Structure 1
């Protein structure tokens, strides 16, 4: 590093300043893939002799050992990145025939951290999958089984027909108050949300899926 000329450092500083400006303004997050072309540009500016033909560098790829697949377990708190910087926090409640049930904490956090047990929550869990945990898009920030007490032990799905159902097949009519909370008539309402797109619904509703 000490042998590099000023060019790569100037480019890196400019790009980092741009990243911080974008996140501070709440406009968008920055993916790792965006770093590659900037790194390639910086490497092309390295003085001759430190790298072989640095001017010929056109593509930079990030490589490393394959990540081990991570499956969530009850009490795990996952951090879901927002498209406009920050994170939504949810606790994994259970996995059943409907999918993986997550209970969400209200609002968005600036950092991926463990929530406290007195923070506000959305009382209606959401069914999704754990694909984004296994791929690393969602990070597991910790586990606290006591957080499960903040949510229903048997999360229900709410049918548009007016019936709530547990994975065990127990049904009941849901109240007008409940319907007003999760709005099954909304065109965006779903009984199951793909983890790949869940952050979009959270962004759309200011931290709430329903």
Structure 2
């Protein structure tokens, strides 16, 4: 099992391969902040550094999923199970551990010299509502109505939501006949915890409609990633890779470049609208 430094080294390597240059210190902190969502149930964390941000546009929004997955795994190792998020010294200790792990990783930054000392500071952006597996959430969409999802997993990748295909005019727990989107998606952002996507109920029976350990997918082989196979690979929260065939790669959107497993809330809804247009209003019968 990788340690936190190895995960952060992988995060930086994925960034460099995607973007064509190393990340800046600010971009690393931005990735960590997004990846931290779901790592601590009751807190939304903010990540900053002692290095003043340089001018320029952040490229974090152009990243594929692998950098976020590596960052999330690194943070899981940093936070561990021995820290109490409610304790006064929680953020300070996470900051110290993160600084040490980043130093040990030896990652290259685009905007500072190799000998520069980068110190991470972690603070609380806000306190959040606790979430549970089986929570049913209602995500309002601009066209009117709601996308209904279920929290199906909370693991090293973050918080995964399984969505139903149909858009409904009022928030409701789905009926057993409602069709589901084939694979859950990992959420970036605090749309649920902050209340923007309200929790409208809890029904653990709905968990049986979705995989309990949703995988993320990786694009086909790069020279540095020989385990990904001809058509790509799926990875579970234990970081076990599974090579996939062409049918699965096509189904999830790896072949045409439309695949995203990690998305902020509004982009997630737009992605769903593109594939499941909100023209139909769904099955209005009550849940059994």
Contact 1:71/1:133 (<8 A) preserved: no
SS in 1 for 2:165: coil
Contact 1:88/1:207 (<8 A) preserved: no
Contact 2:136/2:173 (<8 A) preserved: yes
Query: Which of 57, 68, 90 is matched with 2:149 structurally?
Result: 90
Query: What's 2:176 paired with?
Result: 117
Count of residues paired in the alignment? 142
Structure 1 residue 163 corresponds to structure 2 residue 222: no
Query: What's 1:198 paired with?
Result: 268
2-side partners of 1:97 and 1:69: how far apart?
Answer: 19
2-side partners of 1:196 and 1:203: how far apart?
Answer: 11
Counterparts in 2 of 1:134 and 1:107: CA distance versus 1, 3 Å: same
1:147-186 pair list within 5 angstroms: 147-161=206-220, 162-186=232-256
TM-score, length basis structure 1: 0.62
In the TM superposition, residue 144 of structure 1 has moved relative to its aligned partner by 0.4
Give the unaligned 5+ runs of structure 2: 1-125, 221-231, 279-288
C-alpha RMSD over aligned residues: 2.1
In the TM superposition, residue 82 of structure 1 has moved relative to its aligned partner by 1.0
TM-score, length basis structure 2: 0.46
**How far does the alpha carbon of each residue in 1:115-136 deviate from its partner, in whole angstroms, 9 at most, with x for none?**
0223211221111146001222
Query: Which of 113, 134, 147 is matched with 2:193 structurally?
Result: 134
Give the unaligned 5+ runs of structure 1: 1-66
In the TM superposition, residue 196 of structure 1 has moved relative to its aligned partner by 4.1
1-side partners of 2:219 and 2:277: how far apart?
Answer: 22
In the TM superposition, residue 140 of structure 1 has moved relative to its aligned partner by 0.6
Bigger Cα Rg: 1
